[in-house]
């Protein structure tokens, strides 16, 4: 494929709002997980909650979209100069030539939970003020962002569990290559809710302490929340220097189990090899792999096996979910930003909370971030049902802090 330029990027997660906060947190090996203090979720676990969501106000004319998930999206719009970059792209190409592809796994399901808890005790009717289409509906996120930014091109929602906001990059490349759009705004948001917290507990996949991806004593995941947006364009038409380049992507489906990966990571291997094929790169061209690495015993082991088969055991890898929590449908865009920070500022992110590397994981995982030049990074996002996506990102020429200040 012809590489695409990432010319604007924003980041919201438990480490903070904005790319400088993300880069600082990663380089300082900060862990942003906290003992569960979310709403009325009475679960012994740790979470990656974003500070300040409760105080966010949507523009008055869009108040009907108000919910936690759309508030996270609003934070991403305001962060890192993204709103100005989107407006400039719309002026450059026209509103109908800018596509919008966003990923989410639960959208505003929390509003549905609240409505159900407050239903009429006699009729079971939901409260009249519950706005399903603007909040709970999976397309509510894309609808909100389209109206908020004035995008009139194709608007798509991707909901493939935890691969959602990685697969949006593949859709963007296909829309641009097909001539249906000149640029695309991609990304996603996923917010904390009771369904995921209690659902993952029922699957016995939650750790009571902070998640420890790749650790010999790992016991499960820590759920987080987050959001992010990226502007993707053809390099020759972009109005600014790229922060990074999308070199290739790979997609696959395990077709193995509804909630467990293929035991040897076959789908993960196919996804990574397809990304390399599409980018016309050899495994030796990749300097760093950001693992999906949730902290569950089976996930980490099977992914590491796949990485070793593709790249060999010496490839430098890490999972950053021990710092941010697993942001589910937002994991792809959150960890794309992680990779862009490493590419732009010359460091390989560490693997938070790692104490003793599982001896079954035969790749080079390090606990602490370390200075290192990275030319190409690969980011993995894998979801329930065996939905896999791998992105290959190359270094750009632009400054990710150009609009957001210095870290």
Write out the H or E segment, with its range, that includes residue 157: strand 155-158
Task: Report the DSSP beta bridge partners of residue 186.
Answer: 101, 230
Helices (H) and strands (E) in the chain, counts: 11, 17
Task: Report the DSSP beta bridge partners of residue 390.
Answer: 250, 380
Backbone CA torsion sign across 143, 149, 153, 156: negative
With left for phi above 0 and alpha for psi between -120 and 50, is residue 210 left, alpha or beta?
A: beta
Quickly list H helices, 139-290: 140-149, 164-177, 194-202, 266-279
Nearest CA-CA partner of 314 in 344, 294, 284:
284
Instruction: List Cα–Cα distances, 54 to 25, 61, 74, in angstroms.
Output: 22, 19, 12
The answer to whether 326 is a known catalytic residue is yes
Q: What are phi and psi of 184, to 5 degrees?
A: -145, 140
Catalytic residue among 262, 326, 339, 389: 326
Rounded CA separation 69/273 (Å)? 33
Catalytic residue among 193, 292, 317, 339: 292
| In contact, 44 and 208? CB cutoff 8 Å | yes
Catalytic residue among 67, 136, 138, 162: 162
For the beta sheet containing 46-48, the strands, ordered from the edge strand earlier in sequence to the opposite edge, are 34-35, 46-48, 223-224
DSSP class of 50: P
Nearest CA-CA partner of 133 in 157, 97, 99:
157
| Active site (catalytic) residues | 162, 292, 326
């Amino acid at each position: 494929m012809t590489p695409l330029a990432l010319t604007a990027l924003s980041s919201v997660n438990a480490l903070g709002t904005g790319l400088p906060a993300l880069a600082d947190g990663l380089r300082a090996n900060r862990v942003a997980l906290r003992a569960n203090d979310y709403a009325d979720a009475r679960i012994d676990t740790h979470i990656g909650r974003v500070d300040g969501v409760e105080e966010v106000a949507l523009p008055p004319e869009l108040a009907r979209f108000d919910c936690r998930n759309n508030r996270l999206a609003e934070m991403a719009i305001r962060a890192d100069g993204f709103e100005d970059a989107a407006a400039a792209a719309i002026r450059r190409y026209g509103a109908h030539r800018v596509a919008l592809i966003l990923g989410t796994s639960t959208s505003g399901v929390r509003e549905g939970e609240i409505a159900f808890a407050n239903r009429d005790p006699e009729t079971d009717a939901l409260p009249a003020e519950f706005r399903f289409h603007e909040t709970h509906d999976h397309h509510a996120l894309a609808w909100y962002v389209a109206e908020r930014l004035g995008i009139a091109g194709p608007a798509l929602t991707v909901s493939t569990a935890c691969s959602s906001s990685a697969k949006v990059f593949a859709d963007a490349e296909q829309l641009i290559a097909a001539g249906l759009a000149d640029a695309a705004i991609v990304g996603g948001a996923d917010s904390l809710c009771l369904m995921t917290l209690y659902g993952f507990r029922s699957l016995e996949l939650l750790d009571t302490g902070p998640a420890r991806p790749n650790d010999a004593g790992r016991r499960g995941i820590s759920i987080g929340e987050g959001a992010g947006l990226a502007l993707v364009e053809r390099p020759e038409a972009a109005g600014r220097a790229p922060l990074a380049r999308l070199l290739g992507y790979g997609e696959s489906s395990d077709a193995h189990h509804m909630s467990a990966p293929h035991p040897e990571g076959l789908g993960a291997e196919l996804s990574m090899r397809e990304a390399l094929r599409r980018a016309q790169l050899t495994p030796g061209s990749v300097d760093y792999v950001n693992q999906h690495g949730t902290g569950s015993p089976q996930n980490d082991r099977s992914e590491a096996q796949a990485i070793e088969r593709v790249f060999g055991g010496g490839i430098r890898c890490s999972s950053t979910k021990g710092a941010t929590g697993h942001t589910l449908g937002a994991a792809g865009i959150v960890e794309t930003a992680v990779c862009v920070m490493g590419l732009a500022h010359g460091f390989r992110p560490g693997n938070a909370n790692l104490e003793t590397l599982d001896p079954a994981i035969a790749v080079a995982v390090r606990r602490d971030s370390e200075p290192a030049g990275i030319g190409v990074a690969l980011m993995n996002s894998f979801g329930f049902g065996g939905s896999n996506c791998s992105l290959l990102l190359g270094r750009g020429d632009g400054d990710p802090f150009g609009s957001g200040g210095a870290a």
